Amino acid sequence: MATPLDKHPSADTVPPDTPDWEALQASPEFARLRKAVRGFAFPMTAAFLAWYLLYVLLADYAHDFMGTKVFGNVNLGFVLGLLQFITTFAIAILYSRYAGRKMDPLADELRAQIEGAGR
């Protein structure tokens, strides 16, 4: 039974062990992987950019609010600035967990198909 990952029978210039990359890209398995990546990357990017834009706008237009003392000489602007870094690390950790749970199994399945088609 032919799969979308089989090599091109008419391509004389392609080495015999090369999978059909165009067919792979058009396969439903690859579409599921692409959807899994976009399902995390797009919403998380939009959320982080909104959070960063809010921080920048507050820093530029809400001086009194950002200058509010939290404790000692530490103000709200400083705390929100530190939260930008914490948010970045939290997103990296969430991405790692999401990738391990959702994307890696799909990628492993595709890799197995590619390696099987190349033999």
Q: Could you give the percent of the chain with pLDDT greater than 70?
A: 83
Is residue 35's pLDDT more than 90? yes
Joined together, the tokens standing for residue 113 give 């198909």
d(CA 118, CA 20): 9
At residue 35, φ and ψ (nearest 5 deg) are: -65, -40
Region for 6 from its dihedrals, namely left if φ exceeds 0, alpha if ψ lies in -120 to 50, beta otherwise: beta
Residue 112 pLDDT level (bands cut at 50, 70, 90): confident
- Average per-residue pLDDT in the chain? 86
Q: Which amino acid is at 83?
A: L
The closest of 8, 47, 5 to 28, measured between CA atoms, is 5
pLDDT in tens, 47-71: 999 999 999 999 999 999 999 999 9
pTM: 0.72
